[in-house]
Amino acid sequence: MKLKVLSYPYVVWIAVFIVVPLALVLLYSFTDGDLEDLNFTISNFRKFLDSKYLNVLWISVKLALESTVLTLILGYPVALIIAKEKPSKRNTMIFLFVMPMWMNFLLRTYAWLTLLGKNGVINFIIEFLGFKPLDLLYNDGAVLLGMIYNFLPFMVLPIYSVLVKIDNSLIESAEDLGANKFQIFTRIILPLSIPGIITGITMVFMPAVSTFVISRLLGGGQYMLIGNLIEQQFLWVGDWHFGSAISIIMMVFILITMAITSKFDTQKEGSGGLW
């Protein structure tokens, strides 16, 4: 009975800050008009079928997929390198890798403005070497770079957490049977790390497809992604009904991704490092 009483504050917290807001978003998405005179309709979802909004969704998904693939290509070797180190060194490397995440997300993104700007550090070096400055800001490349930088840890950490649990005896047995390093990687390490890869893909793709800060700062307001569209509807246009409908659509993306992740995330507990 005491334990049940202790759980009440958490139930209240969940109800006030999760259930009620979600219910309001769902209500607004299927209605129009003022709060005192709501009319149920699906016109908000039909409105999203307009080609200009579908194009925004396409650009958002395209950039999110590109950033996810690139973070996987960059992040997997990093996770592999860290996982094969000794525990003491491994912990230090993880600490150094995670430490930049303690800084505010907005400040981390702002830092790239000083690096990529026309008078930034990179162009200063380019001009010092005798070349013409480059337009590094306000384009797809800058937005993509910002996504990769901010979301790379979300790819590395899940993969690392799986790699570090692979039993060394599996590697040793494969070596005793004559397998080379390529065969060990493709037949043992890579298959066993798939749950971490799927989790990493989920953790990178979802914030990337819904981001609005990165595209606003590094894209210079020229790029309207789905996150910017939702922000615009709530803060500037004042159409909370359409904004809620877009939010529900994005929530469906999240639920589908979580369902896929749960099917692949069957990694069994292991022990030890890779080598």
17: containing domain: 1-41
129 in any annotated domain: yes
**Could you tell me which residues are beta bridge partners of residue 32?**
39
pLDDT in tens, 33-74: 876 778 899 999 999 999 999 999 899 989 999 999 999 999
| 80, two tokens | 């592999």
Spatial contact of 30 and 40, defined as CB atoms under 8 Å apart: yes
- CA–CA distance, 61 with 218 (Å, rounded to integer): 18
Question: The domain spanning residue 207 has which CATH number?
Answer: 1.10.3720.10
- Of residues 244 and 139, more confidently modeled: 244
- CA–CA distance, 145 with 159 (Å, rounded to integer): 21
Residues 35 and 142 in one domain: no
pTM over 0.75: yes
Domains of the chain: total: 2
274 in any annotated domain: no
Q: Identify the pLDDT of residue 102.
A: 85
pLDDT in tens, 194-245: 888 988 988 898 889 888 889 888 887 777 889 999 999 998 898 999 999 9
Task: Check whether 119 has a pLDDT greater than 90.
Answer: no
